[in-house]
Amino acid sequence: MYHNILVPIAFDADRDVTAPLKLAELLGTPDAKVTLLHVIEHIPSYAISYVPENYLIEARRAIEGELHDLAAGLPNATGLVIEGHSGRSILEWAETNKPDLIIIASHRPGMQDLLLGSTAAQVVRHARCAVHVVR
Residue by residue, what is the 3-state secondary structure of the chain? CEEEEEEECCCCCCCCCHHHHHHHHHHEEEEEEEEEEEEECCCCCCCHHHCCCCHHHHHHHHHHHHHHHHHHCCCCEEEEEEECCHHHHHHHHHHHHCCCEEEEECCCCCHHHHHHCCHHHHHHHHCCCEEEEEC
- What would the mean pLDDT of 12-23 be, rounded to a whole number? 86
What pLDDT, on the 0 to 100 scale, is given for residue 110?
61
Confidence class for position 13, pLDDT limits 50, 70, 90:
confident
| Number of domains within the chain | 1
Residue range(s) defining the domain that contains residue 39: 2-134
- Give the mean pLDDT of the chain: 91
Q: 89 vs 51, which has greater pLDDT? A: 89
What pLDDT, on the 0 to 100 scale, is given for residue 111?
55
What predicted TM-score, i.e. pTM, was given to this entire model?
0.91
What pLDDT, on the 0 to 100 scale, is given for residue 26?
97
Domain harbouring 82, CATH code = 3.40.50.620
